[in-house]
Amino acid sequence: EALVINDPDFQHEDLNFLSRSQRYEQAIRKSSLMVMKLREYGIADPDEIYLFKSFVHRGRPEPLDLHLGMFLPTLLTQATPEQQDRFFMPSWNLEIIGTYAQTEMGHGSHVRGLETTATYDPATQEFILNSPTVTSIKWWPGGLGKSSNHAIVLAQLYTQGQCKGLHAFIVPIRQMGTHEPLPGITVGDIGPKFGYDEIDNGYLKMDNFRIPRENMLMKYAQVEPDGTYVKPLSDKLTYGTMVFVRSMIVGDSARALSRACTIAIRYSAVRHQSELKAGEPEPQILDYQTQQYKLFPLLATAYAFHFVGTYMKDTYRRISADIIEGNLSELPELHALSAGLKAFSSWVANAGVEECRMACGGHGYSRCSGLPDIYVTFTPCCTYEGENTVMMLQTARFLIKSYMQVGSGQRVTGMVSYLNDLTRQHIQPQHVAARPVSVLINDPVSLVEAYKARAAWLVEAAAKNLQAELNHRKSREDAWNVTSVDLVRASDAHCHYVVVKLFTAKLSEISNAAVRAVVTDLCLLYMLHGISKNAGDFLQAGILTNTQVNQVNQRVKELLAIIRLNAVALVDSFDFSDNYLGSVLGRYDGNVYENMFEWAKKSPLNKTEVHESFHKYLKPMQAKL
Amino acid sequence: AVNPDLASERLAASFSVELLTASLDGGAERTRSRRAVVEAIENDPVFSQENQYFQSQNERYEAAVRRAVYLRKKIREMGWTENGPEVQYVNRCLSGDIALILHRVFMRSISMLGSDEQIAKWIPLATDYQIIGSYAQTELGHGTYLQGLETTAVFDAATQEFILNTPKISAMKWWPGDMGRSATHTVVFAQLYVHGKCYGVHPFILQIRSLQDHSPRPGVTVGDIGPKMNFQHTDNGFLQLQNVRVPRENMLSKFCEVQPDGTYVRWGSQKINYFTMTALRISVLSEEVILPLKKACTIAIRYSAVRRQSKLKPGEQEAKILDYQTQQQKLLPQLAAAYAFHFIKIYLDELFSKGYQDIQSKNFDSLPELHAFSSGFKAMVSQHGTSGVEICLRACGGHGYSLLSGLPSLYTRIIASCIYEGENTILLLQTARFLIKCFMAASAGQPVPPSVTYLSSVKPGKCPAKDKLDFLSPEIYLKAYEQMAIRLISSSAAKLRHFIQSGVDEYEAWNQCTVQLEKAAKAHCHYITVKNFVETVEKLDNEAGIQKIMKHLCDLFALHGIFSNMGDFLYDGYLTAAHMDLVTASYLDLLAVIRKDAVPLVDAFDFTDKTLNSALGSYDGQVYQRLYEWAQKSPTNQQGNPAYGKYLKPLLQNTLSKL
């Protein structure tokens, strides 16, 4: 970190005052420098590269992300040895700058609907690439607009007159040396977005563009010179990358929320407003119960997601070792879990970042707070790598399948094993009068059981509604569609259960007693606040009584007052440097107002004392009237 | 040509879009005149917003000033009146992307708070734009809590002047619109001191820039506060004052005055100084909250009828995403809310115009109720509207994230409404304070304002509904809302009393109950909104063509509210777990019913394509072509790529030389 922060080459003007083109240029400058410096320092370990990169770009996206994160790994996993010889070293050395072009204007999460075609021509042993409709234009890939000279393009493969589904092709798009688009290629930037100013997300239109047969990535599927298609062994393997990226998003959610909480909580300790008691000095706004109620559950959530993120990363590592040895048994559950948790955590964090911003009042709306930037950078997570609702429904499909398996007498394992008990217990709201008393609201383990019961109840309800629709003359597809609101609720409850289970499991691993005590309070707050927010489910399922819900609400407020004491220390523990945080409101030293004034003076509108529009418009208007 | 996917939606409409539009406008005549104004503005290239997504802060500001200046000309040319409906229509079609908005607030506060002489002196100057005004209340250190403002105005009897100062950094005025670069004058709110005694916050007219060369006046430091999430076109400003003197006559003195010898006289409530703000809270709702919500619904729903993704059934064409239940459950409740808020705004306007007349005749009785209304509804509508726009944004997948969809700017703009003119949590607590007072009064058998008479009808009971269709009856769901609001208010009151009786001091007790009080205030506003929707639908019985579809929307709004706050409703005991299954079933059925009219229902908002300024939401549904064409206009595609020559090329050569 110090290596980067002390390097004058990585300094620049405050990004908030730069135009989009300037931000792109700064990012490219830093990326280029970074690559050269990595070589100079001889840094090659992936984790170290990741750290170095995140300090250079202060946790922001950069135009070469897709080159490093998708283009190179795809080459490694899907290219044949010969293809690796041809492409890997030039790409590693950035002679080739690549991107990964999957999403099209008309299709995103529904990958099978992509329309780009690659038609094999045995006469010349080439593929002819086409974007046959407007909707088939590649749209969104990062680094495609201006930076890349190659792209891995996903297209429907046609050979011998038949469509063989989606395959990946290495397509050169710009002339080496001049960087001009090649004939038959139309490429450009898709214009301004909500955030991601520094990225040239691009479009790509191909018009009878020919590439040699050897440019299809052929480690798994192959097209032989005469056009014969050879099928891959398993199509599940390509899941690997998606599962990895989705698992990573859980960690990103934790980070975005931690940053926002740090800013909001520090600022709430510095900001004094109004009076709690007549005649006394204005209190810190952090002393108001409503402010605590906004921020502390989010702080607890940030910790929860941190632990879940770590768990997902570890699990992925463990399972990918199995996969290499050909053991795919755990892949379906991990796939379902990563989809659901990706959606669950990014939705919650997305809303949480906004709550933090609004908890900072008007100043949160200024770009100097850093919060608008965290939000616009984070919010596309809800859409990319699988739209959240679609993700929740994927998890639901797995849950329903597991439920059916249990119904047919099989046992299921892993996080869904609670379904094994269902058919025996037959949870019905009217039959569980004896259950509520068993929930102890101060005992994390007991609360995990309550969340488990809620998940089981909602999965069963969704499954039964689905069955009822099926019995009701509906086709499978229609039945699924009219049950999808229930299914999303079930997935949500399942993910919530997984989060509280993992959070609680973490507590016993903390050795320092004082740390364990404060993290236990956070864990309790997370769980009780979740119950309070979803009281309808717990009441309707008969898991808790009205009296207990009342106790939960009361206990939440008591916990707020307890956590208040350590709130600033708890965000300091995230250990973000001021530089990384990029926020005037969230400064470690708390000197907020002076620094806001200094920051504003640098605004482009303040470059001259009298703005030119005064001479152009206002003065003539005042004179004429 | 209209995309066939949209055309088919319109053919299936169960009602006349034109009739509904006229009803929303308040008559067919108004629809005609609105369209005429919109046409005049949109055909004038000066007002084009075509390039706004590509412009820098400086360019946006300059364009907004230019539009404001040309608009004055246009108004005279067209023979419109400054306070007439035409200007409202203009604002609607320019989406507020225009400078000098605060000039009108400046004038309004002088008209409302100024003496007759002050009005005679300043209003003509402002009307002719010989001066440009702003409204400087918020400071770096204080916003919603006005008593905490730190700017001072000390009366100097010797010279008959007030001496204005911002004594420390947190006292600096911060955020006022049009002040950073444009305004020559402003209404400054400062703590008034006379002979060493503080009389609280008062408004003063202050000149901040020279009328000759626009340079800041001596003692004045003024500038722009830098980039924000949106409002790039507005020069929100800071203002530091160092011994700046204004004559005694510049204190706005309709309701209070400092006489030459320093005697302080007041007529009426101190609160009246904030009435501008109270009224402003309501007036921002239509343009800054309800319109953006309607636009977001229009964009998202039209796009969802055009976007096809995945197959509902194997072998069929890919389905419109609007046919997915999960998509309907995201968008249709927002659409219902847009209508609910449209109607509640009409109700509030009527309430306020009556209140305004009372106040002008110095009858302040309705002030507490008006204040509670403006606070609570501003908070509820802006919060709900903001989350609605965000839901629409995220319902449009990746393309929603492109600025060209129009949704990001709608979102970043509407979220500001949760903070300005009073931070929402604090506003809800103010409403809660009013409700608690009324509840106490009602319990003691005293009379209460008409909007809260329901508080005296506490009769706990059980909901009689037996079937899911019963929940389509307004009496049934209104009762549930009423019960919940009463329960939240009465139990907050009980808890407060309990704390105080057990020795906790009043302030601490209040703070300990605020989470629940906030909830109570929201429940009250929600209840009134549902009730008003029901009453509006009843009044539509002479417009049979649209009454039915409005009834569906009203039911959806009400049941969605119950479905999403199940815990509160169940806790109440009025509804049981079994009832919740009925509510859910009824609610999901309604989604499918309203789905059929979804596109006509947004068409009825009658936004032109130029007003929407969205590649996804245009009337003709030619989404993808438009997205592609607009992207090519981006400066990133119009100019060369300097980064390649400067950085990428050297990087490649550096590598090559090392290979």
Nearest-CA distance B629 → chain A (Å): 10
- Closest-CA residue of B relative to A140 is B398
Question: Out of B143, B325, B511, whose CB is closest to A481?
Answer: B325
Tell me: the pLDDT tens digits for A70-117? 898 888 888 899 999 999 888 888 889 999 999 999 988 788 889 999
**Count of other CB atoms within 10 angstroms of residue B318:** 16
Q: Which domains does chain A have, with CATH numbers?
A: 1-60 (1.10.540.10), 96-232 (2.40.110.10), 240-390 (1.20.140.10), 403-412+445-573 (1.20.140.10)
CB contact under 8 A, B398 and A388: no
Question: Out of B566, B637, B646, whose CB is closest to A536?
Answer: B566
Q: Among A102, A485, A533, A625, which would you mutate to test the B interface (most chain B Cβ atoms within 10 Å of its Cβ)?
A: A485
Annotated binding site of B for FAD: 138, 177
- Closest-CA residue of A relative to B140 is A593
- Radius of gyration of chain B from its Cα atoms, rounded to whole angstroms: 27
Question: Out of B128, B130, B326, whose CB is closest to A484?
Answer: B326
DSSP secondary structure letter of residue A116: -
Q: Among A539, A543, A601, which would you mutate to test the B interface (most chain B Cβ atoms within 10 Å of its Cβ)?
A: A539
A145, A190 Cβ separation under 8 angstroms:
yes
Nearest-CA distance B22 → chain A (Å): 35
- A385 catalytic per annotation: yes
What is the reported pLDDT for A352?
97
Lookup result for tokens 């859910």:
B584
Buried b (16+ CB within 10 A) or exposed e, A153-163: bbbbbbbeeee
Interface of B with A in 485-514 (CB under 8 A): 505, 507-508, 511-514
What is the reported pLDDT for A215?
96
High-pLDDT (> 70) share of chain B, %:
97
Tell me: the pLDDT tens digits for B421-468? 889 999 999 999 999 999 999 999 899 988 899 998 767 788 999 999
CB contact under 8 A, A546 and B130: no
- Half-sphere exposure (CA, 13 Å, Cβ side) for A298? 31
- What does the alpha-carbon distance between residue A395 and residue B407 come to, in Å, rounded to a whole number? 29
Neighboring chain B residues of A481 at a CB cutoff of 8 Å: 312, 323-325
- What does the alpha-carbon distance between residue A172 and residue A182 come to, in Å, rounded to a whole number? 8
- Radius of gyration of chain A from its Cα atoms, rounded to whole angstroms: 27
Q: Which domains does chain B have, with CATH numbers?
A: 114-267 (2.40.110.10)
- pLDDT, average across residues B241-250: 97
Q: Is B265 part of the contact surface with chain A (CB cutoff 8 Å)? A: no
- Closest-CA residue of B relative to A199 is B636
Q: Is B573 part of the contact surface with chain A (CB cutoff 8 Å)? A: yes
Nearest-CA distance B141 → chain A (Å): 7
Say what the ipTM of the complex is. 0.84
CB contact under 8 A, A193 and B225: no
Question: Out of A188, A482, A625, whose CB is closest to B325?
Answer: A482
Question: Out of A550, A593, A610, whose CB is closest to B170?
Answer: A593
Nearest-CA distance A310 → chain B (Å): 27
What is the reported pLDDT for A45?
67
- What does the alpha-carbon distance between residue A489 and residue B588 come to, in Å, rounded to a whole number? 14
Token pair recorded at residue B178:
């049009």
Tell me: the pLDDT tens digits for B293-344? 999 999 999 999 999 998 888 888 899 999 999 999 999 999 999 999 999 9
Identify the CA nearest to B19 among candidates B6, B30, B10, B28.
B28
Q: Is A147 part of the contact surface with chain B (CB cutoff 8 Å)? A: yes
CB contact under 8 A, A537 and B566: yes
Q: Is A106 part of the contact surface with chain B (CB cutoff 8 Å)? A: yes
- Closest-CA residue of A relative to B317 is A113
Neighboring chain B residues of A485 at a CB cutoff of 8 Å: 325-326, 329, 588
Q: How many CB pairs under 8 A join A and B?
A: 364
Question: Rounded to whole angstroms, what are the CA distances from A577 to A41, A266, A373, A588?
Answer: 23, 13, 17, 8
Residue A586, φ and ψ in degrees, nearest 5: -100, 15
Say if strands A126-130 and A209-212 run parallel, antiparallel, or are unpaired.
antiparallel
DSSP secondary structure letter of residue A336: H
CB contact under 8 A, B644 and A146: yes
Identify the CA nearest to A240 among candidates A316, A343, A169, A156.
A316
Q: Is B571 part of the contact surface with chain A (CB cutoff 8 Å)? A: yes
Q: Is B215 part of the contact surface with chain A (CB cutoff 8 Å)? A: yes
DSSP secondary structure letter of residue A106: S
- What does the alpha-carbon distance between residue B18 and residue B469 come to, in Å, rounded to a whole number? 30
Q: Is B589 part of the contact surface with chain A (CB cutoff 8 Å)? A: no
- Closest-CA residue of A relative to B567 is A536
Annotated binding site of A: 103, 142
Interface of B with A in 611-630 (CB under 8 A): 624-625, 627-628, 630
B270, B364 Cβ separation under 8 angstroms:
no
Tell me: the pLDDT tens digits for B64-118? 999 999 998 899 899 998 778 898 899 888 988 999 999 989 998 999 889 999 9
How many residues belong to chain A? 625
A132, A120 Cβ separation under 8 angstroms:
no
Q: Is A105 part of the contact surface with chain B (CB cutoff 8 Å)? A: yes
What is the reported pLDDT for A68?
82
Single out the catalytic residue among B421, B506, B508, B629: B421
Token pair recorded at residue A518:
């404060």
What is the reported pLDDT for B458?
67
What is the reported pLDDT for A64?
83
3-class state of residue A259 by DSSP: helix
Interface of A with B in 186-215 (CB under 8 A): 188-194, 200, 203
Q: Is A533 part of the contact surface with chain B (CB cutoff 8 Å)? A: yes
CB contact under 8 A, B214 and A103: no
A356, A256 Cβ separation under 8 angstroms:
no
CB contact under 8 A, B577 and A540: yes
Nearest-CA distance A327 → chain B (Å): 31
CA A613 centroid distance within chain? 42
What is the reported pLDDT for B656?
47
Q: What is the mean pLDDT of each run of 10 residues along chain A (625 residues)?
A: 73 78 84 79 71 75 83 86 91 88 88 93 97 94 92 96 94 92 94 87 96 93 94 66 83 96 97 85 93 98 96 86 76 89 97 95 92 92 90 95 92 89 55 56 94 96 94 88 95 98 96 95 98 95 93 96 97 93 95 92 84 82 64
Lowest mean pLDDT among A248-252, A353-357, B55-59, B269-273: B269-273
Q: Which residues contact A281 (CB under 8 A, 6 or more apart)?
A: A272
Question: Out of A39, A93, A380, whose CB is closest to B401?
Answer: A380
Residue B161, φ and ψ in degrees, nearest 5: -130, 160
Q: Among A187, A197, A617, A624, which would you mutate to test the B interface (most chain B Cβ atoms within 10 Å of its Cβ)?
A: A617
What is the reported pLDDT for A72?
87
Q: Is B641 part of the contact surface with chain A (CB cutoff 8 Å)? A: yes
Element (H, E) at A394: helix A388-407
CA A454 centroid distance within chain? 26
| HEC-encoded secondary structure of B429-447 | HHHHHHHHHHHHHHHCCCC
Question: Rounded to whole angstroms, what are the CA distances from B575 to A363, A548, B463, B465, B480?
Answer: 42, 18, 6, 9, 7
For the cut 50, the answer to whether the pLDDT of residue B595 exceeds it is: yes
Interface of A with B in 76-95 (CB under 8 A): 93-95
Beta strands per DSSP E along A583-624: none
Question: Rounded to whole angstroms, what are the CA distances from B94 to B40, B87, B176, B408?
Answer: 12, 10, 21, 17
Question: Rounded to whole angstroms, what are the CA distances from B247 to A261, B164, B206, B257?
Answer: 47, 11, 9, 13
Question: Rounded to whole angstroms, what are the CA distances from A501 to A61, A505, B609?
Answer: 32, 6, 50
CB contact under 8 A, B138 and A272: no
Token pair recorded at residue A362:
């008007």
Nearest-CA distance B159 → chain A (Å): 31
Element (H, E) at A164: strand A162-172
Bigger pLDDT: B654 vs A560:
A560
Write out the DSSP string of B117-146: HHHHHHHHHHHTTSS---EE--BSS-SS-G
- What does the alpha-carbon distance between residue A569 and residue A573 come to, in Å, rounded to a whole number? 6
Neighboring chain A residues of B320 at a CB cutoff of 8 Å: none
What is the reported pLDDT for A614?
82
CB contact under 8 A, A95 and B655: yes
- What does the alpha-carbon distance between residue A551 and residue B319 come to, in Å, rounded to a whole number? 47
CB contact under 8 A, B588 and A546: no
B621, B2 Cβ separation under 8 angstroms:
yes
